[in-house]
Structure 1
Amino acid sequence: MKAKKLPSGNYRVQVVAGHDENGKRIVKSFTASEEWEAIKLATDFACRREQNYDNNMTVAQAMEMYIDSRRNVLEETTIRDYNQVLKYRFKTLMNVKVRDIKPIQIQQAINLEAEKVSPKTVKNAYGLLKSVLKMFNADINLNSVKLPKLRKKEKELPSFEEVFTIVKGTEIELPVLLAAWLSLRIGEVIGLQFRDIDKETRRISIRRTVIRTDEGLKVREGCKTEKSQRQLELPNYIFDMIMAIEHDSDEDFIVPLTRKALYSRFTRLMKRNDIKMTFHDLRHLNASIMLMLGVPDKYAMERGGWSTDSILKSVYQQTFSSERKKIDKMIDGYFNGIILNSGNVSA
């Protein structure tokens, strides 16, 4: 849980305590002079509330309570995903009482979902359902429940040269290069501001993203994970493109497009050229190129923010080592070669 420091110097934690007859959330506040004390008061309340649930509670009511109990500790994107499950998945289970639910009912619900959505979506929804049943001590053995198999998708991606030829000179050339060359996620691309660029070192800091929440799109300081916050050296071609963009403030966004606008314009342009490709596929294209160039995993994961290494800080400290500079030059050489051959001489 997160505690907010008040002007008085005290700390306050708010917990959703339920809903009134109109469906509006009832929020209970816990205030104390010390942060840990406010968090403890709120945690104790949440635990008591979870333990004293109604024995006649339905799966939908239990899932809603589960989501609310974690609203202050999970990412807003995760809460949004949970609410999507509550709203759209396992509809045949939602009015079943937790105490009465049977494995066969869950299996039947999974079968129905498997006809409509991907195995990954079913797996994620089932994971939430299992957590809810566990929290509310449902007397049920789920060992017999089977999920649809996750199938590895073999997708044929175009070459970067094909993609660049299509987007060159368009309004989405820069965001495409940021994704395909520097391996930025779409939220990171539209979250970039001019203040993120160090003009002297020509490095860009990836430290902000645009996320989807239940309240809509939100600019969040910080990336998908701590591992995703990174610094990258800007190739001259991309640096010059950014510097040529007129802006009034360092807090202006480099790519002034919404997530939906960028995504739809890219997919529409690809479709017009008979290419089936999403914007996120540009990161896959980037990973494939680094594999082709023989880039060591350590540097590939660091560039793309994929690192799962627990000593992440030591990796960041070595980001601009002489070895890393060799890797950057090798990758830049590949992309620059294609751009130069296309008729651009300023790369």
Structure 2
Amino acid sequence: MAIEKLKSGKYRLRFTVNKKKYSIYTGKKPTKAEEAMLIQEYMEQIKKESVAKKNGSFLDFANEYIASKENVLSASTIRGYKNTLNAIPDSFKDLPFYEIEQHDITRLVNDMVIKAKPKTIYNRHGLVVAVLREFRPDFTVRTKLPRKEQKDIYTPSEKEVKALFEYIDNDKVFHRYYIPIHLGAMGLRRSEIGALTLDDLSEDNILTICKAKVQDKDNKWIIQNYTKTEKSNRKIPIPKELADRIREQGYIYKGNLNQIFCTLDSAQKALGLPHFGIHRLRSYFASKAHALGLPDSIILTLGGWKSDNVMKNIYRKALEEDVAKGTQTYLEHFDKS
């Protein structure tokens, strides 16, 4: 046990219990009897807090887990965690955290199967597992999850994309969305487009991607000084015609990012095109770049994907028209033989 006077004028009492060190701060130098009383009261308070924490619900620990990540993860990721937590049924969130067993998690998943899609269930289960691993590292979770849906990611054709560009460019209302939608077809994410300024465009028509416009945990739009992944910071060349348009306009995009979705939806309905959002234009970019013979490493860099697997598994889908051309070439080869 040791006591010392600090520069602030207060006294710090240091002591060890069960090989764990503690400190108590007091306004005056305590007597031996007062020292013993302070230590006793302090340890009783710690015991009460420990008991209270042991009796905490899953919701209490999940909120603590998310709060501990707020300065590490992006604002949009934290918002996603909170939305996922809110969607988990109260019947599970109210369970005493240290009483949760595997059958509670199994029942949770089983009940969600009726109302939620497999991807949603995977996200909610993933948060449950992350919280348990953080505070109960010895608890091993073994849950049978529903089979993931094999979705056919729609990739617009070059003909559809060109028709879309032409329609938006010639429409008086939609004309101002031409630039952000064109950038989407060059592999940029919506969040990256929303954060761009004229200062990000160099004299030689190169865009610097280094920030993102996202919604924080309170659903307010903010500019964060980093992109989705460490690989997303990049420089991409854009056509001179597009760069000149940006300079003439004086900005890249102003307004609510959700309006881009609404614009695409209206234009697609007018043209009779299948519905697809701006993120599907990234699919178009990767697919077309692959069909043109660009190496995967270049596509990966230009699109800002974190890994080759992500790009290949999600985005590198050959365009139907290119498949048709390849098939025709294949058939012609055998016709000549």
Query: Taking structure 1 as the reference length, what is the TM-score of the superposition?
Result: 0.67
Question: How far is 1:105 from its partner?
Answer: 2.2
Please tell me the residue identity of whatever aligns with 1:228.
S
**Equivalent-residue separation in structure 1 for 2:63 and 2:80 (angstroms):** 13
Please tell me the residue identity of whatever aligns with 1:233.
P
Alignment of 1:26-105 (within 5 A): 52=50, 54-105=53-104
**Equivalent-residue separation in structure 1 for 2:211 and 2:256 (angstroms):** 15
Alignment of 1:168-317 (within 5 A): 168=166, 169=169, 170-180=175-185, 182-199=186-203, 201-215=204-218, 216-245=220-249, 247=250, 253-272=251-270, 273-308=272-307
Residue 61 of structure 1 aligns to a residue whose secondary structure is helix
Question: How far is 1:222 from its partner?
Answer: 2.1
Is 253-262 or 161-170 further displaced after alignment? Answer: 161-170
Is the contact between residue 267 and residue 279 of structure 1 (CA under 8 Å) also seen in structure 2?
A: no
Is the contact between residue 156 and residue 281 of structure 2 (CA under 8 Å) also seen in structure 1?
A: no
1:157–1:138 Cα change, 3 Å: closer
May I ask how many residue pairs the two structures share in their alignment?
253
Is the contact between residue 183 and residue 304 of structure 1 (CA under 8 Å) also seen in structure 2?
A: yes
**Equivalent-residue separation in structure 1 for 2:156 and 2:269 (angstroms):** 12
Cα deviations by residue, 1:155-213 (Å, 9 ceiling, x for unpaired): 34331321221332133222111011x200001112110011111x2211112210121
**Equivalent-residue separation in structure 2 for 1:244 and 1:98 (angstroms):** 59
Residue 154 of structure 1 aligns to a residue whose secondary structure is coil
Match of 1:152 in 2: 150
Runs of at least 5 residues in structure 2 that lack an aligned partner in the other structure: 1-45, 170-174, 309-337
Is the contact between residue 99 and residue 138 of structure 1 (CA under 8 Å) also seen in structure 2?
A: no
Match of 1:125 in 2: 124
Is the contact between residue 98 and residue 138 of structure 1 (CA under 8 Å) also seen in structure 2?
A: no
Cα deviations by residue, 1:310-338 (Å, 9 ceiling, x for unpaired): xxxxxxxxxxxxxxxxxxxxxxxxxxxxx
Residue 73 of structure 2 aligns to a residue whose secondary structure is coil
**Equivalent-residue separation in structure 2 for 1:158 and 1:234 (angstroms):** 21
Please tell me the residue identity of whatever aligns with 1:191.
A
Please tell me the residue identity of whatever aligns with 1:238.
L
1:233–1:274 Cα change, 3 Å: closer
Is the contact between residue 184 and residue 304 of structure 1 (CA under 8 Å) also seen in structure 2?
A: yes
Whichever of the two has the greater Rg, that structure is: 2
Runs of 4+ aligned structure 1 residues displaced above 4 Å come to 138-141
**Equivalent-residue separation in structure 2 for 1:65 and 1:255 (angstroms):** 37
**Equivalent-residue separation in structure 2 for 1:271 and 1:101 (angstroms):** 49
Identity of aligned residues (%): 27
**Equivalent-residue separation in structure 2 for 1:135 and 1:166 (angstroms):** 48
Is the contact between residue 187 and residue 211 of structure 1 (CA under 8 Å) also seen in structure 2?
A: yes
**Equivalent-residue separation in structure 1 for 2:158 and 2:81 (angstroms):** 36
Residue 136 of structure 2 aligns to a residue whose secondary structure is coil
Residue 205 of structure 1 aligns to a residue whose secondary structure is strand
**Equivalent-residue separation in structure 2 for 1:62 and 1:197 (angstroms):** 45
Please tell me the residue identity of whatever aligns with 1:229.
N
Please tell me the residue identity of whatever aligns with 1:303.
L
**Equivalent-residue separation in structure 1 for 2:266 and 2:112 (angstroms):** 29
1:302–1:139 Cα change, 3 Å: closer
**Equivalent-residue separation in structure 1 for 2:295 and 2:89 (angstroms):** 43
Is the contact between residue 211 and residue 219 of structure 1 (CA under 8 Å) also seen in structure 2?
A: yes
Residue 148 of structure 1 aligns to a residue whose secondary structure is coil
Is the contact between residue 204 and residue 233 of structure 1 (CA under 8 Å) also seen in structure 2?
A: yes
Query: Taking structure 2 as the reference length, what is the TM-score of the superposition?
Result: 0.69
